[in-house]
Chain A
Amino acid sequence: MTALLTIQDYRLDIPTFDGALKVLDGIDLALDQGETLGIVGESGCGKTVLARSILGIGPAKGKRVSGSMTFDSVELDHLDEAGWRRIRGVKISMIFQDPMTYLNPLFTIGRQLSDVVVAHKRAKGERLPSRAEQRKRCHALLDQVQIRDFERVVDSYPHQLSGGMRQRVLIAMALAGEPQLLIADEPTTALDVTIQAQILDLLRDLVDRLGLTVVMISHDVGAIAAIARRVAVMYAGVVVEQGMTNDILTQPRHPYTQGLLAALPDIEGGHQVLESIPGTIPNLIHPPSGCRFHPRCPRATEICTAQKPVARNIGADHVVACHHALD
């Protein structure tokens, strides 16, 4: 069985006045139908750029240097505007971080949602729905994300809804085209803790019920663990480790993953000093030679400064890019 989404040796540069930012440095990922993949990493590690590149809405000045992205045997890198219209929202869809800024403040929820519905019908070449049909479809979509007071919400503007409600609306929009792949970019980060839990529950429920294939991006390991069966850890534009979420959380092999997990507060650990990874994420215009993590790595040796580690299999579905993974 071929994977639904394949990303191979994907490199992306963003030119700036001081030189090109090497944002993604040879990403390899594959995702099967029905799989749920989490991508974790610090802010600025390239998670969002990667996710948006899948939908062709990456940074405007970004330039693919090498590699490819293939979805359902469609080469995403060669699509034109019309080609994208048959993908966006219909086959691949996305939910976003801050539901306030990702909804247009000047249009009602109903208007924005039904515009999406109409756009999908057009993309699929189907008959355009009447106003009544649009409203019915909106009702069903909002119902799916457990919004019960449809009449109020549909005529509301984004600012009249709570953060949790807005995120539900965005999820409804993302599901409107019945996509095969859902990309969730930090879907809970901008929400209150209690709302986070509700949204995660809703997402998990939808994933199970609709059998969605999901890429979820977050710096919150807990949120990832709640949704994703597999996880990829990113550092400075590189996937440093990937495997089953359980394995990665219990037996991390890459020093960065180990540091990341050690930096999580433990609710049962009592009073303890929280660990942190020394140093900061590197400058991506002049990234460190060899392994991009070596300046911050406790296990770094000479080879790490000279050679970029190749991702290798160290167990059943556990891939690590580190020279000292088994030390």
Chain B
Amino acid sequence: MISFTFRKVAVLIGTMIGLAALTFLITNVAPGDPARLVAGPDATNDMVETIRVEYGLDRPLIEQFAIYMGDLFTGNLGRSIVSTRPVLDELARYVPATLELVLVAMALGILVGVPFGMLSAVYRDRWLDQITRILSISGVALPAFWFGILLQLFFAVRLEWLPVSGQLSLTALAPEPITHLLLVDTLLRGDFETFREALSHIILPAVVLSFPCLASILRVNRAEMIEVLQSDHVVAARAHGISSTRIVTIYALKNALLPTLAIIGLRFGWMLGSTVLVETVFDWPGIGLYAVSSALASDFKPVIGVTLVIGFMFMVTNTFVDLAYAWIDPRLRSAQ
């Protein structure tokens, strides 16, 4: 297990370097002269050349690459043209908000998807199964922006149970950051008032973001459970007198979790990429909004920064998924 972990981490590092190289390649292969882009449409040739030298764009490609990678390692992601602030600082502001949203959505997806997938399989073709199946199909089918607005209208405008948008109301004060995750920080600081505030704000966007993810976790887990429950070792466990509850919740569930984990890893990456719609609808100060506004302004450095961060988080998640796989399935451990 230890050597397995080491190898997975090595692969993770390699993939990250690969991703960094790829972003470098894309910016250099992409049509257009970055120096002219930075200088703006009205710049003279002299100005463009000055900028070219200033940004090191006149040096050989391999040298530029070395500088680029060196910068990445020291956390220097360049500056945004629009705000002129370092990209790293801006990311530090936006990434936690998105990460928090995605994590809460993921937790919802797992906590609802796995048990209901399990129950759906046990009560196959009964009313509970029919209801969860309708839910899971609509989860995949409903567009996020429409579903989000629907929930806002109902729960925020009509019932006034939850706030319409934002991460905190205007009167609330965010605590001094520790982890930069609002829910965690408020708890750590013992500021339960703000915690409740933050929680009520995150519910609607998290539900909207998690719905497709929840639906696919549920479907996969249901299908796997149905298959596992028919397998020989479940028949044997029943014959040996193990109770149905124990068979379903321990013996079968552990087997069914393997494919479900794969979906969880994939869906995590998908959520990181698709928060932008939810963030727009709920005015959530996250990385999706930042990426879109930067891309629209042809602000390259932030776009690359966002790409790297999302790629990084996706790869880390999938490394965790791989490790969880090996932790659950002894055959994977000893095959190494």
Residues in A lying within 8 Å of B, measured CB to CB: 52, 55, 57, 60, 81, 85, 87-90, 93-94, 96, 98, 101-107, 115-116, 119-120, 123, 157, 159-160, 170, 173-174, 176-177
Contact = CB atoms under 8 A, between A and B. Distances in A.
Given A57-B239, A103-B236, 20 more contacts: A81-B244, A85-B241, A88-B239, A89-B239, A89-B240, A93-B239, A94-B236, A102-B232, A102-B235, A102-B236, A105-B233, A105-B329, A106-B255, A106-B330, A107-B251, A119-B240, A157-B330, A159-B330, A170-B236, A173-B240
Interface string B51-81: 0000000000000000000000000000000
Given A106-B254, A106-B330, A157-B330, A96 B242 contact: no
B142 interface: no
25 contacts: A57-B238, A85-B241, A88-B240, A89-B239, A90-B241, A94-B236, A94-B239, A94-B240, A96-B236, A101-B233, A102-B232, A102-B233, A103-B236, A104-B251, A105-B330, A106-B328, A106-B329, A106-B330, A116-B240, A119-B241, A123-B241, A159-B334, A160-B334, A170-B236, A174-B240
B85 interface: no
Nearest to B235: A57
A105 B328 CA distance: 10
B243 A119 contact: yes
Interface of B: 230-233, 235-244, 246, 251, 254-255, 328-331, 334
Contacts of B251: 104, 107
A123 B246 CA distance: 14
B330 A103 contact: no
A101 B233 CA distance: 6
Between B233, B254, B255, B328, the greatest number of chain A beta carbons within 10 A of the residue's beta carbon is seen for B233
A101 B232 contact: yes
A81 B244 CA distance: 8
B240 A93 contact: yes
Contacts of A103: 233, 236
Contacts of B328: 106
A98 B328 CA distance: 23
A108 B37 CA distance: 62
What DSSP secondary structure best describes chain B's contact surface?
helix
Contacts of B242: 115-116, 119
A326 B244 CA distance: 50
Contact of A104 (B230, B233, B238, B244): B233
Nearest to A98: B232
A85 B246 CA distance: 13
Contacts of B233: 101-105
Given A57-B235, A96-B232, A104 B255 contact: yes
Contacts of A120: 241
Nearest to A94: B239
A106 B253 CA distance: 11
B108 to A, nearest CB: 26
A27 to B, nearest CB: 20
B247 to A, nearest CB: 10
Nearest to A113: B240
Contacts of B236: 94, 96, 102-103, 170, 173
A102 B237 CA distance: 8
A93 B240 CA distance: 6
A107 B327 CA distance: 12
A159 B239 contact: no
Contacts of B239: 52, 55, 57, 88-89, 93-94, 96
Nearest to B241: A89
Nearest to B238: A57
Nearest to B333: A157
Q: Which 10 A-B pairs have the closest CB atoms?
A: A89-B241, A88-B241, A101-B232, A157-B330, A102-B236, A104-B233, A89-B240, A94-B239, A102-B232, A116-B240
A94 to B, nearest CB: 4
Nearest to A88: B241
Given A98-B232, A101-B233, A102-B232, A85 B243 contact: yes
Nearest to A85: B241
A160 to B, nearest CB: 7
Nearest to A177: B241
A157 B331 contact: yes
Nearest to A81: B244
Contacts of A102: 232-233, 235-236
Contacts of B246: 115, 119
Nearest to A96: B236
A101 B231 contact: yes
Contacts of A90: 241
A38 to B, nearest CB: 19
A89 B241 CA distance: 5
A184 to B, nearest CB: 12
A116 B334 contact: no
Nearest to A116: B240
A176 B334 contact: no
Contacts of A177: 240-241
Contacts of B240: 88-89, 93-94, 116, 119, 173-174, 176-177
A289 B78 CA distance: 86
Given A57-B235, A96-B232, A115-B246, A105 B331 contact: yes
Nearest to A112: B237
